[in-house]
Amino acid sequence: MIDGRKVLFSGMQSTGNLTLGNYLGALKNWLTLADEYECYYSVVDMHSITIRQDPAELRKRARNLLTLYIAAGLDPEKTCIYYQSHCSAHAELAWILNCFTYMGELNRMTQFKDKSAKHADNINAGLFTYPVLMAADILLYQADVVPVGADQMQHLELTRDIAERFNNLYGDVFTIPEPYVGKVGAKIMSLQDPEKKMSKSDENPNGSIYLMDDADTIIRKCKRAVTDSVGEIAYRDEQPGVKNLINIYSACTGKTPEETVEEFAGKGYGDFKAAVGESVISILRPLQEEYGRLSKDKAYIDQVIRQNAERARHTSYRTLRKVQRKVGFPDRLS
């Protein structure tokens, strides 16, 4: 609890270009939570190097992601937007928590299994202990809530287990975080394979709408979206492609899926797809304009980076020092 407000922590990796799925499923939720909670939104660049990265590219993408957080409407005066790598407390706490996490627990993590199958030539120890660094992120800020997608739930459960284990040994050191799951319908599927989630690492660029796609590209991708031969705009599991387009249109316009179905009753897929494309453009255009403006303002972004890293360090070091004392590290005499 800070100033009577509960604390929220979340982060995103700066790998790949963000998709409409990331925006509707994560960033947009973050915005609505920013007034209610004391928020920390990190660009988790330390997590990114668990997969091999090109250094120049990683640096550029991390800055782009941080700029995008602000362009999407997060106010860096109110919410702490920072690079994970600028706050060494994350690495220091992760080391300590590694010593309170069992191999058996990490062995059960499905993301580790998926990622090591995908990157069989580089199964490094960082990839294995990825969830411990994530636990450190969350616990350093004594976060009460953590908005995550379903895929991250297992990591959050592990975070809670580690925190409880530590508290049982040393007293109430960590707040036990609760997951915050956004409303249903926020999971956006690939336009080319509606059984698969829209993902920034998808090899087929037509399956994803990227936040920086121009209007023509968005319309083209929507028109090419895989549907079915039923020919009716209905919200049901048997028509996953159409259902996904209804979800996208509803999320972009603020309508319910039922209202969307009613609006397009009797219309063909062609008209509907064009309308979906327009609805996406209407939310992405302002975001792109703001992003374009902000990315030219180097001094402003630099100042956000400096100030917020300072804030993050201030809060996180309080927890880190306490933990160091609890485990028996010698007092600092200076």
Clarify whether 28 is annotated catalytic: no
Interaction of residue 8 with ligand LTN, rule CB under 6 A: no
- Among positions 8, 10, 202, 276, the unique one binding ligand LTN when judged by CB under 6 A: 10
249 binds, among ligand LTN, ligand ATP, none (CB under 5 to 8 A by kind): none
Interatomic CA distance for residues 117 and 279, integer angstroms: 37
- Among positions 134, 189, 191, 233, the unique one binding ligand LTN when judged by CB under 6 A: 134
**What minimum distance in Å lies between the beta carbon of 58 and ligand LTN?**
15
Residues 177-206 binding ligand ATP (CB under 6 A) are: 186-188, 197-201
Clarify whether 200 is annotated catalytic: yes
Beta carbons of 326 and 173 less than 8 angstroms apart: yes
Q: Which of 6, 28, 187, 200 is catalytic?
A: 200
Total number of residues that touch ligand LTN (CB under 6 A): 13
- Among positions 7, 13, 244, 323, the unique one binding ligand LTN when judged by CB under 6 A: 13
Q: DSSP states of 244-297 as a string?
A: HHHHHHHHHHT--HHHHHHHTTT--HHHHHHHHHHHHHHHHHHHHHHHHHHHH-
Pairing outcome for strands 80-83 and 145-147: unpaired
CB count within 10 Å of CB 137 equals: 27
Beta carbons of 128 and 111 less than 8 angstroms apart: no
**What minimum distance in Å lies between the beta carbon of 76 and ligand LTN?**
19
Give the residue with the Cβ less far from ligand ATP, 24 or 323.
Answer: 24
Interaction of residue 70 with ligand ATP, rule CB under 6 A: no
Clarify whether 273 is annotated catalytic: no
Beta carbons of 44 and 137 less than 8 angstroms apart: yes
Give the residue with the Cβ less far from ligand LTN, 143 or 251.
Answer: 143
